[in-house]
């Protein structure tokens, strides 16, 4: 993965940019001189966040591919092609498997996983054409650790990790980098809403974790991208899980790359 020393003028689009980790990621890029655009569903908080950040904005629901695509097109027309897509939109609706509405499983998968897929699919052709671009995906410690009450949320974050692993082999040969970050509980409005409905078991597990600030997560994400890191973990427990989870990938990577390269040459 290529290192980055200068973000000045580069167009960075952040989904979920009106608050929480998304707003903090947008702020970290803005402080480095990037041209930042933010996307979220609610217009008033989005507009206020954009004003605070000095960013452009367009309202869209990431679960609506057509709506999201129109917003990205509008932002690229005003600010140039997207050099970085940071997929930070998402939510957690905790609850025991049989005690939550069935629709909430679809809601979380649509927002957390498919929202990232829609955003990446929209900007990726341009990145491949220019032979450069960066993708930031936000997973979670819940991608590795089974936590009661997260039967709807945990699988969506595991799917983000797997999306990054698969996508990397497709796009890295074409100059596009993929980074995934795995924050534990982060002090955001989303966490506050989540805590209201957590079952007692979920509270017992997550209550032992001191939430980190969204700014710390954002700074780690941007620094990690600058240093060419594929995976970013901030706390010791997640680093431990990540090291073991990456072992099979590390062992298989040379074989996979040789096999893929051979198949591409033969095609």
Indicate which residue of 153, 159, 182, 198 is catalytic: 153
Q: Long-range contacts made by residues 68-76, C-beta under 8 angstroms, separation at least 24?
A: 68/15, 68/39, 68/115, 68/118, 68/119, 68/122, 69/118, 69/122, 71/39, 72/13, 72/39, 72/119, 72/122, 72/123, 73/122, 75/11, 75/13, 75/37, 75/39, 76/11, 76/126
Catalytic residue flag (residue 182): no
Task: Name the one residue in this structure whose structure tokens are 């590390």.
Answer: 250
Rg for the chain, CA atoms, rounded? 18
The closest alpha carbon to 36, from 84, 70, 69, belongs to 84
Indicate which residue of 134, 157, 159, 198 is catalytic: 157
User: What letters, b where the CB count within 10 A reaches 16 and e where it falls short, cover 11-35?
Assistant: bbbbbbbbbbbbbbbbbbbbebebb
Indicate which residue of 18, 139, 140, 159 is catalytic: 139
At residue 213, the 3 state secondary structure works out as strand
Catalytic residue flag (residue 139): yes
Strands 35-40 and 176-182: unpaired
Give, as one character, the DSSP assignment of residue 145: S
The closest alpha carbon to 29, from 136, 184, 185, belongs to 136
Give, as one character, the DSSP assignment of residue 123: H
Contact (CB, 8 A) for 93 and 153:
yes
Catalytic residue flag (residue 157): yes
Catalytic residues: 139, 153, 157
């Amino acid at each position: 993965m290529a290192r980055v020393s200068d973000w000045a003028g580069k167009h960075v689009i952040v989904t979920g940019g009106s608050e929480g980790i998304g707003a903090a990621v947008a702020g970290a890029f803005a402080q480095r001189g990037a041209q930042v655009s933010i996307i979220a569903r609610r217009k008033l908080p989005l507009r206020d966040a954009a004003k605070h950040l000095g960013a452009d904005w367009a309202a869209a629901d990431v679960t609506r591919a057509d709506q999201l695509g129109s917003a990205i097109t509008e932002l690229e027309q005003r600010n140039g092609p997207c050099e970085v897509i940071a997929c930070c939109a998402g939510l957690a609706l905790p609850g025991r498997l049989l005690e939550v509405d069935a629709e909430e499983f679809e809601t979380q998968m649509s927002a957390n996983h498919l929202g990232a897929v829609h955003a990446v699919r929209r900007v990726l052709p341009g990145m491949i054409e220019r032979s450069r671009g960066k993708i930031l995906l936000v997973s979670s410690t819940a991608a590795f650790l089974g936590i009661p009450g997260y039967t709807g949320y945990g699988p969506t974050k595991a799917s983000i990790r797997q999306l990054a692993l698969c996508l990397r082999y497709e796009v890295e040969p074409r100059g596009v980098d993929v980074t995934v970050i795995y924050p534990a509980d982060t002090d955001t409005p989303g966490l506050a809403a989540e805590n209201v409905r957590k079952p007692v078991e979920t509270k017992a597990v997550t209550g032992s974790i001191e939430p980190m600030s969204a700014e710390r997560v954002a700074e780690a994400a941007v620094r990690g991208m600058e240093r060419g890191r594929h995976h970013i973990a901030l706390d010791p427990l997640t680093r431990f899980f990540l090291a073991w989870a990456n072992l099979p990938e590390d062992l298989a990577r040379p074989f996979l790359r040789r096999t893929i390269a051979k198949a591409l040459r033969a095609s």
